[in-house]
Structure 1
Amino acid sequence: MTTKRIVNHPVLGKLEENKKITFTFDGQSYDGYENDTIASALLAHGIRTLRKHEESGNPRGIYCNIGHCYECRVTVDEVSNVRACLTPIKENMVIESGKVQPSPLDPKNEGDLPRTYDEFIRSEEQKKNANK
C-alpha cells in the first residue's frame, strides 16, 4: 500500500529516522512511527472511519484533529472513548473502531472522561494507589 505520509519535512526532519512501531486496528496489523498519534498513523494508511455516531449510526472520523471535538473516539486496549487525535501509538497497542461510543456530552456520564489513553492509565493507577 502506498503511504500517504510526508517523509521529508523541512521542520520535522526525515521520517525514516523515527522508530517504527507496530499496532493493531480492527484485527489488522499496521506500522506507525514513534510520536504518531493514533489518528495520524491510521490516516497514513488511508483509514478514515473510526467509529459510528451514537444516535444515527453514521460513520465518523477525524474532524478537528486537535482534541476539541469527540469525533475520533476509539477503543484502545479495551478502554473506550479514547481520542485518537491526542493519543500516541504504542508498541502492540490494540485499537478498535466501529463501536458506538458513549456520548461524552450525556449528563448520565458523571465526572470527566479521560482525554487520552495515558490520562486513563494515570487515573486507574491513582485509583489503585488510593485503595491500598
Structure 2
Amino acid sequence: MSELIIDGKPLAFVEGQSVAAALVATGRVSWRATRAGHRPRGVFCGIGVCFDCLVTVDGVGGQRACLVTARDGMTVTTEESTDE
C-alpha cells in the first residue's frame, strides 16, 4: 500500500483514491474551517464544484482534495495543521 504525508504524518491509501477519499477512509471528515464562525469543512460535493475540501499539495495551496489523486510520497497540509 502507498503512503502520502498529511500534516507531517504518513497516511496509507489505495491506488486511485483522491486525497479526500484517503482522509475520509481513515475517519477524518474535516480538515479546514470557515473564516466566519470557524465551522468545520471537509468533503461536501465530492466532485470539485465547491471549495470546502481545500488543502495544500506539495506546496501549492488551494487544491481541492476531492480532485487530487493521491500519489506515493505526496505531501499534503491542511488548515488544521496551522496554529493560527
TM-score by length of 2: 0.87
Name the SS of the counterpart of 2:31 in structure 1: strand
Which one has more relative contact order, counting CA pairs under 8 Å at least 6 apart?
Answer: 2
Name the SS of the counterpart of 1:24 in structure 2: strand
Q: How far apart are the structure 1 equivalents of 2:34 and 2:51?
A: 10
Deviations 1:10-32 (A, max 9, x none): xxxxxxxxxx2110111111100
Q: Write out the 4+ residue segments of structure 1 that deviate beyond 3 Å after TM superposition.
A: none
Structure with the higher fraction of residues in strand conformation: 2
Among 37, 43, 48, the residue aligned to 2:29: 48
For residue 20 of structure 2, what is the amino acid of its counterpart? A
Structure with the higher fraction of residues in helix conformation: 1
Query: Is the counterpart of residue 60 in structure 1 residue 41 in structure 2?
Result: yes
Q: Which runs of 5+ in 2 are unaligned?
A: none
Where does residue 79 of structure 2 map in the other structure?
98
Q: How far apart are the structure 2 equivalents of 1:58 and 1:41?
A: 22
Once the 2 structures are TM-superposed, how far is the Cα of residue 58 of structure 1 from its aligned partner? 2.0
Q: How far apart are the structure 2 equivalents of 1:52 and 1:96?
A: 14
Q: Which runs of 5+ in 1 are unaligned?
A: 1-19, 100-132
> What is the aligned-residue RMSD (CA, Å)?
1.2
Q: How far apart are the structure 1 equivalents of 2:57 and 2:29?
A: 17
Name the SS of the counterpart of 1:49 in structure 2: coil
Q: How far apart are the structure 2 equivalents of 1:36 and 1:61?
A: 16
TM-score by length of 1: 0.57
Where does residue 3 of structure 1 map in the other structure?
none
Count of aligned pairs: 80
